[in-house]
Amino acid sequence: MMGESMALPFWLDALIALLLLSGALVALLGSIGLARMPDVYMRLHGPTKASTLGVGATLLGSMIWFGVGHEGLSAQEILITVFLFATAPVSAHMMARAALHRRVACREGTHGEPWDEMDRLPGYAESSSSSDNQR
């Protein structure tokens, strides 16, 4: 399975190992943030930033691993990386907007309400005032 990895030079092997390990640690950090943070708006911070970086580092290590001497760099890996980096902010933005629209309760001690800024947008307050009784 992995017996022929001796063909790699040592520094490249160490670089791949470092990328894989740091990527896994960063992704685990993001998931711990997802599981431990107190409310939705804080929970959005963990995975949407850290997990993208962690999976990006893992994909970079995999690209080096396959690019040097094994099967050659495959197009799928580049596509996955580009697609992941392009869509992660979009989905995070849409989830944050859904949370603001539903007026999900935030932690006690928050200064102001998270959706105050959204109500100040022109034309938004009327359209979402029907969801006031969901609080």
Partner 1 sequence: MTATVLPIALALFSLSLLLNLYRLLRGPDIVDRILGLDTLNVNAIAVIVLGGIYMDSSLIFEAALLIALMGFVSTVAMTKYLVRGDVIE
- The residues that touch partner 1, with contacts defined as CB under 8 A, are 1-2, 4-5, 8, 10, 13-14, 16-17, 20-21, 23-25, 27-28, 30-32, 34-35, 40, 43-44, 47, 51-52, 54-55, 58-59, 61-62, 65-66, 70-71, 74, 76-77, 79-80, 83-84, 87-88, 90-91, 94-95, 97-99, 101-102, 104
Tokens found for residue 18: 């470092």
Tokens found for residue 118: 């959204």
CB of 111 to partner 1, least distance (A): 21
- How many other CB atoms sit within 10 Å of the CB of residue 124? 15
Residue closer to partner 1 by CB (options 70, 129) is 70
Residue closer to partner 1 by CB (options 77, 113) is 77
CB of 85 to partner 1, least distance (A): 11
Q: What's the Cα-to-Cα distance from 98 to each of 11, 84, 105, rounded to whole Å?
A: 46, 21, 13
Residue closer to partner 1 by CB (options 70, 120) is 70
Q: What's the Cα-to-Cα distance from 119 to each of 90, 115, 131, rounded to whole Å?
A: 21, 6, 12
- How many other CB atoms sit within 10 Å of the CB of residue 45? 14
CB of 83 to partner 1, least distance (A): 5
Q: How many helices (H) and strands (E) does the chain have?
A: 7, 0
